[in-house]
Amino acid sequence: MEDSMFKTKLNRYIDAGFPIIYINTFEESKVDDLIRQVGVGNEIIEWNESRGYIDFATGTPLMEDCTLEMMLNQLKVPELLERKIIVLKDVVPYLEEPRIVSKIKGIVRLINQGVDATVIIVSSVLSVPKELEKFVTILELDYLEVDEIKQVIINFINSNRLSMVKETLINEFAVAFKGLTEFEIENLLALSYSDDGELTRSDLRVIFDQKQQMIKKAGILEMIPLKETVDDIGGLENLKEWFIKKAKVFKNMDSAQKFGVDIPKGVLIAGVPGCGKSLNAKAAANLFEVPLLRLDMGRLMGKYVGESEGNLRKAIALAEAISPCVLWIDELEKAFAGIGGDGGGNDVTVRLFGNFLTWMQEKTSPAFVVATANDITKLPPELLRKGRFDEIFYVGLPNEREREKIFRIHLSKRRSKDVGTINIRSLVAKTNGFSGADIEGVVKDAIESAFSNDKDTVSTEDVLTAINNTHSLSELMKEALEKMQKEYETRKFKNASR
């Protein structure tokens, strides 16, 4: 949303007498600016944790040592409330206190009876107590479109009288800034410019690192550095091939769409732990040549009413702003366990799940979802229906050919000069029931023990010893694996392996 649109909305809400406007943003100072512009003609007062009750425009304290409760107490007199905008900051923890909530409700009652006033809550956390839900209108400062970002860059160049920057570089900067707010973009531009007084290609690296941190700070998404490629995956040929086909569409979205191809939505990869599900999410982003964002389902689930949904909406908005990207939803079953099954699921998870399904169904942005799950028996059946994901794959324990490749990959990574002398076939024969992660562990152990024993090379024997000392995944969870395997076969999911 452009500022002007945000301003218009804020104006409209205040004029229409909406009692509480909740501005969900990290950009406090920018919002201050907007409130100042919109609030002309009103008296604006503020409460915040560090300074207490102050005059919004000047910052002058209006009452010494004033707690939030004391301030709200004062405002219960209609004459004192008239023509006021009350800005509340740092109040999220207080919204858990019934006394505070009831005082805010008292103010809302007066506003609804005709007193001309508005409460504006400004916070980076979205948390609305149930009792206030129907009086609250949420406003968010949205991410900028690429053209808007370009304008911010050009304005920055002009106002700092920087030397000409090539159009192609401005475009690259604009793409790097996707998913950041105007305030963050301006800060990063200032940072890039401060080292040598110019904006150059070398600043892109800094911007990328900073962006990674900013996204992490926002809390729900993480930007994962891309190191792994399809060549790091042993086996899983069907899945890899599928990704390669989708990559062709993804990288040529315009012409593909003109040709009549649908935008790829995403894939669900289910199956045995440690067999390359995460590896595939990373390799996919690499193939698609786009950033990889990991959504932490555990962190998404907030403790306040509406917080989880707010978080999901924010995560989706951020992913769409950064798109084209791969949105990796790890351990999907953790979030949606119990829905549709016997467990029932609680209201929040059911609603969250509904929101997620609707988004998946209606999604038109190039945010490609890679969802991974260990146990699909815990997932609601609606999720597995056609149309949500383009395809559902299951990943089982690696077969002989695959184990050979996995050994080769991990040995070559660490001891490329020994690969030729190690009898990989004999290792394969001894590792039936091992996962990819087990094999990687065996290789690491063998190398470490050869080193500890002052050997110059790693031999077949070293690896065989490590194998004998390992309890494989299938040894540890035999029954669960067999059950899972059957489940996948009856549901006719595609096998990731050939």
Secondary structure, 3-state, 374-426: CCHHHCCHHHHCECCECEEEEECCCCHHHHHHHHHHHHHHHHHHHHHHCCHHH
The residue (of 135 and 328) whose beta carbon lies closer to ligand ATP is: 328
Q: How far is the CB of 434 from ligand ATP (least distance, A)?
A: 10
Q: What is the DSSP string of 261-297?
A: PPPP-EEEEEE-TTSSHHHHHHHHHHHHTS-EEEE-H
CA-based end-to-end distance of the chain: 47
* Position with the least CB separation from ligand ATP: 436
Q: How far is the CB of 287 from ligand ATP (least distance, A)?
A: 15
- Which value, in Å, is the radius of gyration of the alpha carbons in the chain? 28
Structure tokens at 116: 């001309």
The residue (of 207 and 300) whose beta carbon lies closer to ligand ATP is: 300
The residue (of 233 and 447) whose beta carbon lies closer to ligand ATP is: 233
CA dist., res. 122 & res. 31, Å (int): 8
The residue (of 105 and 415) whose beta carbon lies closer to ligand ATP is: 415
CA dist., res. 128 & res. 136, Å (int): 8
Q: How far is the CB of 322 from ligand ATP (least distance, A)?
A: 23
Q: How far is the CB of 275 from ligand ATP (least distance, A)?
A: 5
Structure tokens at 228: 């792994």
Structure tokens at 214: 């900013």
The residue (of 207 and 332) whose beta carbon lies closer to ligand ATP is: 332
The residue (of 52 and 235) whose beta carbon lies closer to ligand ATP is: 235
The residue (of 84 and 277) whose beta carbon lies closer to ligand ATP is: 277
The answer to whether residues 133 and 306 touch, using CB atoms and an 8 Å cutoff, is yes
Q: How far is the CB of 334 from ligand ATP (least distance, A)?
A: 11
Strand partners, 395: 271
- Pairing verdict, β 367-373 and 266-271: parallel
DSSP state of 130: G
Q: What Cα–Cα distance (Å) separates residue 160 from each residue in 148, 172, 413?
A: 18, 20, 48
Q: How far is the CB of 482 from ligand ATP (least distance, A)?
A: 18
The residue (of 175 and 226) whose beta carbon lies closer to ligand ATP is: 226
Coil, strand, or helix at residue 121?
Answer: strand
The residue (of 306 and 398) whose beta carbon lies closer to ligand ATP is: 398
The residue (of 108 and 224) whose beta carbon lies closer to ligand ATP is: 224
Q: How far is the CB of 155 from ligand ATP (least distance, A)?
A: 44
Q: How far is the CB of 468 from ligand ATP (least distance, A)?
A: 20
Q: How far is the CB of 378 from ligand ATP (least distance, A)?
A: 13
Strand partners, 53: 47, 63
Q: Which residues of 95-126 are buried (b: 16+ CB within 10 A; e: fewer)?
A: beeeebbebbeebbebbeeebebbbbbbbeeb
Q: How far is the CB of 217 from ligand ATP (least distance, A)?
A: 25
Structure tokens at 421: 């002398």
* Chain contacts with ligand ATP (rule: CB under 6 A): 233-236, 273-279, 372, 374, 398, 406, 409, 436-437, 440
